[in-house]
Amino acid sequence: MTASSDWWRGCAIYQVYPRSYQDTTGDGSGDLNGITRRLAHIASLGVDAVWLSPFFKSPMADMGYDVSDYCDVDPMFGTLADFDKMIAEAHRLGLRIVIDQVLSHSSDRHPWFVESRSSRKNPKADWYVWADPKPDGSAPNNWLSIFGGPAWEWDSVRKQYYLHNFLASQPDLNFHNPQVQDALLAAVKFWLDRDVDGFRLDTVNFYVHDQNLRDNPPLKLSKAAKAKQTNPYEYQNHLFDKTRPENLAFLRRFRALLDQYADRASVGEVGDGKRSLKTVAAYTSGGDKLNMSYTFDMLGPDFSAAHVRKCIKAFETSVTDGWICWAFSNHDVIRHVTRWTKPAGSPEAMAKFAIALLACLRGSICIYEGEELGLEEAELAFEDLVDPYGIRFWPGFKGRDGCRTPMPWESDAHAGGFTTGKPWLPVPDAHKALAVDKQEHAAGSVLARYREVLKFRRGEQALTKGSVELLDAPGDVLMFTREAGNEKLLCAFNFADAPADADLPRSVAGVSSIDFPGAEGRVVGSTLSLSALGVFVGRLA
């Protein structure tokens, strides 16, 4: 693996959800040894790094995002020795390992919280966010939990409320206490010393809360917008429970620690509504905080040239010296093939279109496990759900289990080759039909296209590190150039389900097509013709 201090800039990251990747023990849940076994598949895609969702000790109330020990592996995933073996094999294959860090909150079973809730005068009494009730006994303010209901839970021992932005079993740590920051950074150092290459910071803009506990104002929503909401959390303008300015000071401390080690990087998850890109700008600018961040701008239902153009323009305008990591799917949202494929459309065509688009965007990119197979969202029965979010808001919102079902490796094997036991979530027959062994040697498969596109992207500096310039285009066509050094590429995408023509501006006259995988667009004179969900990538003289 080649040393490079900016390896993260323009890199391709592959996200693994450990519980669903590969089981080696027969207990129905994936494990670290399973990931090690499948690293060769990941390396074959042509990605640079692997992001692992949490594998730390946890009661698993929120599938590992409720950590009870930041410095150990949960037995369901294996041991620290298994982790070390996985790191060594990844590095041998030229892959970097990025691990999740869930710092905004812990499990209520973490020893820190057990001590904190025991009294108001113990050494860790101020390690979490505690507050007295209002005179009428109600919660300190109007803050809401993303997972439903108030963001405050009453504790009968301390006779106070504690803050939880997510489950009541996920109490928020008090970042206004320097000792808390020190303890969390010590946990980060533990993994740095174990040779991890970077960190994905969960809910990075949730770390710090308003010390005055001011109420959030209502968000101005139309009746139509309110009718679409399944969660009252979206009714508030979250000015005081997240994205506080004091967060920047902690991020500088975090970056200072990372910079003590060679070739390390960080990517933050920013969920901040319409302010997300401004938050990314603040968190990644100046070279002293996060290396890059990703938002939910491309993780929603919007699929159009206008929407992507708007996102690119907003990023280029807002994030002047920072960096973004684009993703279309992850473990928290409906798979993009399902979100974006029209009723009469082809999921396979959408999968191939999406990887071409993702590969051409300026920024780093993140691919979610199973995306390379063109997997659609799994339809699960209520009794199969384990996600507390989905159980709470069913049936208006079905939760996140549909994108977390196990990876299908062998089409004819039990549970798609994921486990010899009962899988923790069902493996749909439709997913087995798209298993790795079905696509491995099939020319024209989604898997083959991912490998081809990612290989092409890696060889073009204009795509990995180059600038971007948006061009005018008609209808549902997106067109832009990417440029680095003497290399300049024209990239065009037709989002429509019908062919489209676009007049090329004079600035890209003389463009010639190149062998971009799957590109079928044609230039005749000054007109570019694209098929439905068509792609064109050409080189400018």
Cα(199)–Cα(71) distance, integer angstroms: 14
Indicate if 202 belongs to the active site.
yes
- Residue 234: φ, ψ to 5°: -75, -5
Given 269, 332, 387, 452, which residue is catalytic? 269
Nearest partner of 424 among 58, 29, 55, 76, judged by Cα: 29
- HSE, side-chain direction, 13 A CA sphere, residue 71: 12
The answer to whether residues 95 and 43 touch, using CB atoms and an 8 Å cutoff, is: yes
The answer to whether residues 206 and 229 touch, using CB atoms and an 8 Å cutoff, is: no
Cα 136 to the chain's mean position, in Å?
41
Residue 357 has what DSSP assignment?
A: H
Give the tokens for residue 25.
């023990």
> Alpha helix (H) ranges present in 295-412?
305-318, 336-340, 347-360, 388-393
Given 172, 202, 332, 377, which residue is catalytic? 202
The answer to whether residues 538 and 520 touch, using CB atoms and an 8 Å cutoff, is: no
Other Cβ atoms less than 10 A from the Cβ of 292: the count is 26
- Maximum distance among all alpha carbons in the chain? 78
The answer to whether residues 499 and 472 touch, using CB atoms and an 8 Å cutoff, is: no
Pairing of strands 198-201, 265-269: parallel
- Positions marked active-site: 202, 269
